[in-house]
């Protein structure tokens, strides 16, 4: 018995020692475990706790850009809406080039990337894509007046440049398997820059996504689509790969709700609708008149805009749509002047001479402002402005008839994207006979809004470029005196 006692004591000592060591090890390693992802909040909780969603994007007409009123752009607005649904603020990190997006995102600089990213197999191996929010096609672009290629075979031997690091390169590599002689140059320039180079006649061919082409052609109408590659492609947000996909899942839920409510379709129409409905002829003439005619009346538009709290460029866009900036314009229906006021409206506004440019512009601006004010409280911007423009053309009573039709069809009477579909019904006897104010040419206000939006977008871009050119250069205090 006594001889075994030391052995039992020794064994007990080893057990206690091992347990003590294990406890000590836990204490020593606990801070490490607490800092590891196993104990961390998931990404969605971390974003909510931080109060901000960090987003990597790029500056372009289709993604994110600065305006006098603040940041704008399709990606900006969609991400902002997503952030608001999470109860946080978005913080945008703007990459200089599209080719920087993926490398910087993989380094962990942002919670997500939203930059018009095309879903491809190679990218899907690096990031987790959210559900697609837009479908586009890659298009071959050339300049009007040059030889138009009609299929891939006719691209052989042409001067082609595309942006490096894009899905265009992947598509061209696929095509080269069937057409080994197909050659192109990859350049470290943004797609929008390359399209402008085609317009300038310094490059024969480039390739761009259809959404980029639609917006860019507003400013460079000589750009033409030669043909589109088959099989549409999808744009989506990028999230980090890994087991935690909480933020990704939140985006899936948000986009599903946005699609079901019609908000996504409305946003797409806001940024791409007018661009997709323009044509070469009216924009070419418009760009000429921006420089030859508008300067005669710009101060009048600016004065009226300041007086009534409206963007003078919007008033100018309306004036062009209504009269091509002709103060003596007269329509067969009796509306007259720069802003095409009816006699009744002019009398109500105190406009004594509709053919006087100053009176006409002032009256048109005051009339538009009154229509904006009279829109129902549930109609918010930018729908409030679009509906006021429709009422400018068709009258507020007929607009209200269309809103009622919209509501009866189960759509939202406070959304222009829905109401515009039912305005044309006012010309159909099967429907206008059921309205309070009867027949109206309901397609005309839809066309007016589309065209004014296009003219406004082009004028804003032209005006901002002019301001940038004329902006005084900062004095370099470090430069040596001469």
Torsion angle defined by CA atoms of residues 157, 159, 165 and 170, in that order, rounded to the nearest 10 degrees: -30
Sequence-separated (6 or more) residues with CB below 8 Å from residue 378: 414
Is residue 210 situated within a structural domain? yes
Q: How far is CA 152 from CA 141, 157, 228, 399, in A?
A: 12, 11, 10, 48
Kindly provide the b/e burial profile for residues 366-384, where b requires at least 16 CB atoms within 10 angstroms of the residue's own CB.
bbbbbbbeebeeebeeebb
- Which residues partner with 9 through β-bridges? none
Range of the domain at 57: 44-134+237-276
The string of DSSP letters for 205-267 reads: BEEEEHHHHHHHTTT-TTEEEEEE-SS-EEE--EE--SS--HHHHHHHHHHHHHHHHTHHHHH
Is residue 29 situated within a structural domain? no
pLDDT at residue 93 in the model: 95
Q: Do you know the residue count of the chain?
A: 482
Helices (H), 4-128: 5-35, 43-50, 74-86, 101-106, 121-124
129 and 254 housed in the same domain? yes
253 and 362 housed in the same domain? no
318 and 261 housed in the same domain? no
Of 222, 256, 276, the one marking the end of a domain is 276
395 and 289 housed in the same domain? yes
pLDDT per residue of the chain (482 residues) written in tens, 0 to 9: 444 444 444 444 444 444 444 444 444 444 444 434 433 458 999 999 999 999 999 988 788 877 655 788 899 999 999 999 999 999 999 998 888 999 999 999 999 999 999 999 999 999 999 999 999 999 999 998 899 999 999 999 999 999 998 999 999 999 999 999 999 999 988 898 899 899 889 999 999 999 899 888 877 778 899 999 988 999 999 999 988 999 999 999 999 999 999 889 888 887 887 666 555 557 778 888 999 999 999 999 999 999 999 999 999 999 999 999 999 988 756 789 999 998 889 999 999 999 999 999 999 999 999 999 999 999 999 899 999 999 999 899 999 999 999 999 999 999 998 999 899 888 877 887 888 988 888 888 888 898 899 899 899 988 888 888 877 654 444 433 33
122 and 144 housed in the same domain? no
Is residue 320 situated within a structural domain? yes
269 and 298 housed in the same domain? no
The whole-angstrom separation of Cα 174 and Cα 347 is 66
What domain count does the chain have? 3
pLDDT at residue 207 in the model: 97
128 and 261 housed in the same domain? yes
Q: What is the pTM of this model?
A: 0.62
pLDDT at residue 275 in the model: 63
Kindly provide the b/e burial profile for residues 392-413, where b requires at least 16 CB atoms within 10 angstroms of the residue's own CB.
bbbbbebbbbbbebbeeeebbb
343 and 436 housed in the same domain? yes
Residue 395 is part of a domain; what is its CATH number? 1.10.530.10
pLDDT at residue 101 in the model: 93
Closest to 211 in 3D by CA, of 272, 168, 287: 272
Of 231, 262, 296, the one marking the end of a domain is 231
Of 201, 231, 261, the one marking the end of a domain is 231
Helices (H), 43-142: 43-50, 74-86, 101-106, 121-124
Q: How far is CA 418 from CA 166, 265, 339, 403, 413, in A?
A: 35, 10, 27, 9, 7
pLDDT at residue 450 in the model: 86
Residues 354 and 337 sit within 8 Å (Cβ to Cβ): yes
Q: How far is CA 419 from CA 259, 271, 355, in A?
A: 17, 18, 33
Q: Angle at Cα 89 formed by Cα 94 and Cα 40, nearest 5°? A: 95
Is residue 17 situated within a structural domain? no
Is residue 354 situated within a structural domain? yes
103 and 227 housed in the same domain? no
The one catalytic residue in 161, 190, 263, 322 is 322
Is residue 196 situated within a structural domain? yes
Is residue 20 situated within a structural domain? no
The whole-angstrom separation of Cα 234 and Cα 211 is 11
Helix (H/G/I), strand (E/B), else coil: 89:
strand
pLDDT at residue 206 in the model: 97
288 and 257 housed in the same domain? no
The whole-angstrom separation of Cα 149 and Cα 140 is 8
pLDDT at residue 278 in the model: 58
The whole-angstrom separation of Cα 231 and Cα 214 is 18
Q: Angle at Cα 43 formed by Cα 40 and Cα 49, nearest 5°? A: 80
Is residue 36 situated within a structural domain? no
222 and 355 housed in the same domain? no
414 and 298 housed in the same domain? yes
429 is catalytic: no
3-state secondary structure labels for all residues of 123-144 = HHCCCEECCCCEEECEEEEEEC
Residue 201 is part of a domain; what is its CATH number? 3.40.190.10
Sequence-separated (6 or more) residues with CB below 8 Å from residue 131: 236, 251, 252, 255, 256
């Amino acid at each position: 018995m006594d001889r075994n006692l030391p052995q039992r004591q020794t064994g007990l000592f080893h057990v206690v020692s091992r347990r003590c060591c294990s406890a000590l090890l836990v204490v020593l390693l606990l801070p490490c475990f607490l800092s590891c992802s196993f104990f961390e909040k998931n990404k969605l909780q971390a974003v909510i706790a931080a109060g901000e969603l960090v987003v990597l994007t790029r500056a372009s007409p289709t993604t994110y850009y600065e305006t006098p009123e603040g940041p704008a752009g399709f990606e900006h607005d969609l991400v902002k809406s997503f952030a608001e649904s999470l109860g946080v603020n978005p913080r945008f990190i703007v990459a200089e080039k599209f080719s920087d997006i993926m490398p910087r995102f993989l380094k962990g600089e942002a919670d997500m990337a939203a930059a018009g990213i095309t879903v491809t197999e190679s990218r899907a191996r690096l990031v987790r894509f959210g559900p697609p929010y837009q479908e586009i096609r890659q298009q071959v672009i050339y300049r009007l007046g040059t030889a138009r290629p009609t299929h891939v075979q006719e691209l052989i031997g042409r001067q082609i440049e595309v942006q490096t690091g894009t899905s265009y390169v992947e598509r061209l590599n696929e095509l080269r398997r069937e057409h080994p002689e197909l050659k192109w140059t990859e350049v470290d320039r943004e797609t929008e820059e390359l399209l402008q180079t085609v317009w300038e006649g310094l490059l024969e061919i480039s390739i761009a996504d259809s959404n980029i082409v639609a917006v860019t052609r507003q400013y460079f109408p000589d750009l033409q689509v030669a043909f589109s590659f088959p099989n549409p492609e999808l744009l989506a947000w990028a999230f980090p790969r890994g087991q935690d996909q909480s933020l990704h899942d939140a985006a899936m839920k948000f986009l599903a709700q946005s699609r079901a409510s019609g908000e996504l379709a409305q946003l797409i129409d806001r940024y791409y609708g007018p661009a997709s409905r323009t044509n070469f002829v009216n924009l070419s003439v418009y760009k000429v008149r921006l420089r030859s005619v508008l300067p005669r009346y710009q101060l009048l538009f600016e004065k009226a805009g300041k007086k009534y709290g409206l963007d003078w460029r919007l008033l100018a866009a309306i004036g062009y749509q209504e009269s091509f900036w002709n103060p003596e314009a007269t329509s067969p229906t009796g509306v007259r002047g720069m802003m095409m006021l009816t006699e009744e409206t002019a009398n109500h506004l105190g406009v004594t001479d509709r053919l006087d440019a100053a009176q006409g512009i002032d009256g048109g601006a005051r009339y538009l402002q009154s229509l904006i004010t009279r829109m129902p409280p549930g109609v918010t911007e930018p729908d409030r402005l679009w509906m006021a423009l429709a009422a400018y053309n068709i009258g507020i009573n007929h607009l209200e008839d269309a809103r009622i039709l919209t509501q009866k069809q189960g759509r939202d009477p406070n959304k222009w994207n829905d109401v515009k579909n039912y305005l044309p019904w006012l010309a159909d006897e099967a429907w206008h006979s059921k309205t309070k104010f009867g027949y109206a040419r309901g397609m005309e206000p839809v066309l007016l809004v589309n065209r004014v939006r296009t003219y406004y977008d082009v004028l804003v871009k032209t005006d901002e470029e002019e301001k940038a050119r004329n902006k005084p250069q900062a004095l370099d205090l470090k430069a040596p005196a001469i």
